[in-house]
Amino acid sequence: MGKAEIKTKATDVAVDDFIAAVPHERRREEARIVDAIHRRVTGFEPKMWGPSIIGYGSYDYVYDSGHSGTMCRAGFSPRKAAMTVYLMGNYCDRQAEADALFARLGKHKTGKSCLYINKLADVDLDALEGLVALSWDVMNRLYPA
């Protein structure tokens, strides 16, 4: 069996153009807010990863299976159903800190490494920024540049 092609790669699409093309006005405005949070936390200018992920920084990974690739260290996608924020998902020795931030966050859902927010108005933006910062710190510790 051949090596699977990684679909999510950094592209040359301008992030501002992507955000400007988000169909729903509220989601466009929310994308600008979440972008500002990520820029503050990471210090990186964003790049598009694949067709719909706005990402900051990058890291290389190798799974036990031997599959490897490069992905953004932090990112989000202003999807129609929900604002999707990509977080570490495993906070190692900082799980209690993550739990406290999630408890403060407000209305949200989570997946393995995703945070889903229907409306930013439903969440505490300071708690959201804290989660992005915590995830960024853990990623940088686990995957040193």
| pLDDT tens-digit series, residues 34-44 | 999 999 999 99
Structure confidence at residue 6 (pLDDT): 60
Q: Where is average pLDDT lowest: 4-13, 47-56, 105-114?
A: 4-13
Closest C-alpha to 87, from 9, 33, 14, 34: 34
Given a cut of 70, whether residue 2 has pLDDT beyond it is no
Q: What is the pTM of this model?
A: 0.90
Q: How does DSSP assign 88-117, residue by residue? A: -S--GGGHHHHHHHHHHHBS-EE-SSEEEE
Q: Where is average pLDDT lowest: 8-17, 43-52, 75-84, 125-134?
A: 8-17
| Cα dihedral sign, 70-76-78-84 | positive
3-state DSSP call for residue 135? helix
Residue 17: CA count within 13 A, CB half-sphere:
7
51-104 pLDDT, tens digit each: 999 999 999 988 889 888 899 999 999 999 999 999 987 788 899 999 999 999
What is the pLDDT of the chain when averaged over all its residues?
A: 92
CATH architecture of residue range(s) 15-142: Alpha-Beta Complex (3.90)
Q: How far apart are the first and last CA of the chain?
A: 31
